[in-house]
């Protein structure tokens, strides 16, 4: 078989599926809103499952609603798995997560239509609640999939809108019979947009992702004394809004002082009673700290806690901190990362080895099997935004690299002979 005769993905088919899925939850400004386990999420799930079934895949659903489509349908061996998620943030774009699922589906379809003989099965998955926008932590479904969160505890999780995960899974019809944790796959490869500016700024087409930086999410509640905004002297106030604002500034200063790759964000702030002429009684906000080194991440957490306690004492308020999620940095399998880089270069693409600043399902799968990620550039580094965009040529390039890596892992008798694989 010549290079021109080699199987290749169909970009028009992948592009059409991306567009069709993007219509579900369309926000009218180019974006998508499909929060996990909502009606829009159910509609998106039903669409992707229909495509899996049209291809003859065996569709399995587990107790937390993760969906896996396997080829051949009667396969019992551990598959080479790809995929991502199809839930979005409220102001999401059309590629975050969706690209990895639908490019994986396209890769499996190309394997089927090409009649490739496999040494092991291939499968494509989408995991429940990766974004963490409706219920925490993020990477929710894949965490349960690998045994990092007990199923019973996950089902009892309460969403920000008061809904319970187990009830919502029942409501949308995605409680499956497969157990959690699942049997580990032979390997996992995830394609994703970078969601940052590095690849585009450096002129590289493919990112060979070396790992995922550590993530610490906290919810902070500051309780003070509600009072009249006009009659309460400044030196008599116990103002939680002031403490919250000072801590938000400190979070930025902390990241600036530490320097890259430390990042820190206050993403949500709520005041009660939230009135123009009332000193608030309570301020609730979130803090997102990330670093590639776990010791540095812990140092940032400790510095934030110390500043919060000091401000609480000065202002006469109380500060309570609740962990929403805490994941240590993850390093991907070295041989798998090498494979991604070699494969991309063989296709003529420029490649950059890089860590991921965002969390991904791949960091959970890395606990149980050889794992790698493929990044494609994000225009202007924008994501979690309706303006999220990746050029079609870059989307096609990433899907092509994913296809080649999956074929290698699924057809080679010993794909880990070069050192990739479990330690």
Q: Which residues of 192-204 are buried (b: 16+ CB within 10 A; e: fewer)?
A: bbbbbebbbeeeb
Backbone angles phi, psi at 404, to 5 degrees: -60, -45
Give the Cα separation of 137 and 373 in Å (integer): 21
Task: Compute the chain's Rg from CA coordinates.
Answer: 23
Q: What are the structure tokens assigned to 268, written together?
A: 């949500």
Task: Give the Cα separation of 15 and 325 in Å (integer).
Answer: 34
Domains of the chain and CATH, by start? 11-212+329-411 (3.40.630.10), 214-327 (3.30.70.360)
Mean pLDDT, range 170-195, rounded to an integer = 97
Q: How confident is the model at residue 419 (pLDDT cuts 50, 70, 90)?
A: low
Ligand-binding site membership of 192 (annotated): yes
Mean pLDDT, residues 242-269: 97
Section 256-274 average pLDDT: 96
**Does residue 273 have a cis peptide bond before it, meaning omega lies within 30 degrees of 0?**
yes
Could you please report the per-residue DSSP string of 81-105? EEEE-----TTB-SSTTHHHHHHHH
Mean pLDDT to the nearest integer, 250-260: 97
The residue-averaged pLDDT of 233-237 equals: 97
Residues 273 and 260: their CA atoms lie apart, in Å, by 37
Q: Is 200 annotated as a binding residue?
A: no
What pLDDT is stored for residue 418 in this prediction?
59
So what's the pLDDT on residue 3?
Answer: 55
Comparison of pLDDT for 423 and 281, the residue scoring more? 281
Q: What pLDDT does 413 receive?
A: 84
The answer to whether 228 is a known ligand-binding residue is: no
* pTM, 2 dp: 0.87
- Compute φ and ψ for 254, nearest 5 degrees: -60, -45
Angle value at C-alpha 294, between 288 and 300, nearest 5 degrees: 50
Which band of pLDDT confidence, cut at 50, 70 and 90, is reported for residue 423?
A: very low
Q: Label residue 94 left, alpha or beta by phi (over 0 means left) and psi (-120 to 50 means alpha).
A: alpha
Inter-residue contact 214 to 291 (CB < 8 Å): yes
Whether residue 316 has pLDDT greater than 50: yes
Tokens of 152: 């019973």
How is 160-172 classified by DSSP, letter by letter? Answer: TTS-BHHHHHHHH
- From the CB of residue 29, how many other CB atoms can be counted at a distance below 10 Å? 9
- Model confidence pLDDT, tens digit, residues 6-33: 899 999 999 999 999 999 999 999 999 9
Instruction: Quote the CA–CA distance of 24 and 360 in Å, as a whole number.
Output: 22
Residue 360 annotated in ligand binding: no
3 annotated ligand-binding residue: no
């Amino acid at each position: 078989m010549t290079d021109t005769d080699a199987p290749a993905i169909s970009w028009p088919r992948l592009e059409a599926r991306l567009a069709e899925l993007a219509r579900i939850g369309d926000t009218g400004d180019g974006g998508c809103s499909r929060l996990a386990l909502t009606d829009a999420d159910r509609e998106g799930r039903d669409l992707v499952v229909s495509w899996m079934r049209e291809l003859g895949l065996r569709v399995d659903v587990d107790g937390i609603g993760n969906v896996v489509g396997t080829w051949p349908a009667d396969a019992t061996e551990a598959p080479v798995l790809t995929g991502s998620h199809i839930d979005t943030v409220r102001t999401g774009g059309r590629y975050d997560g969706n690209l990895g699922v639908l490019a994986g589906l396209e890769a499996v379809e190309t394997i089927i239509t090409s009649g490739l003989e496999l040494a092991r099965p291939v499968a494509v998955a989408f995991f429940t609640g990766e974004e963490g926008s409706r219920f925490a932590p993020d990477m929710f479904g894949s965490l349960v999939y690998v045994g990092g969160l007990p199923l019973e505890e996950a089902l009892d999780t309460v969403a920000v809108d008061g809904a319970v995960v187990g009830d919502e899974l029942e409501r949308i019809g995605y409680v499956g019979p497969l157990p959690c944790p699942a049997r580990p796959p032979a390997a996992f490869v995830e394609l994703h947009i970078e969601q940052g500016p590095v690849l585009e700024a450096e002129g590289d087409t493919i990112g060979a992702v070396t790992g995922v930086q550590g993530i610490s999410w906290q919810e902070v509640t500051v309780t003070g004394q509600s009072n009249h905004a006009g009659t309460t002297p400044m030196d008599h106030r116990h103002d939680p809004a002031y403490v919250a604002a000072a801590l938000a500034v400190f979070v930025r200063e902390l990241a600036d002082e530490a320097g890259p790759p430390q990042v820190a964000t206050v993403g949500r702030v709520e005041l009660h009673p939230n009135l123009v002429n009332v000193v608030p009684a309570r301020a609730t906000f979130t803090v997102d700290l990330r670093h590639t080194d776990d010791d540095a991440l812990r140092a940032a957490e400790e510095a934030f806690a110390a500043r919060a306690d000091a401000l609480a004492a000065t202002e006469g308020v109380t500060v309570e901190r609740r962990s929403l999620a805490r994941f240590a940095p993850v390093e991907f399998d070295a041989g798998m990362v090498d494979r991604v880089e070699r494969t991309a270069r063989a296709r003529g693409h420029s490649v950059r080895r890089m860590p991921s600043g965002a969390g991904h399902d791949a960091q959970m799968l890395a606990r149980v099997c050889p794992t790698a990620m493929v990044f494609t550039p994000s225009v202007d580094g924008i994501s979690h935004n309706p303006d999220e965009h990746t050029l079609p040529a870059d989307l096609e390039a990433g899907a092509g690299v994913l296809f080649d890596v999956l074929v290698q892992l699924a057809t080679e008798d010993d794909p880990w002979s070069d050192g990739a694989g479990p330690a």
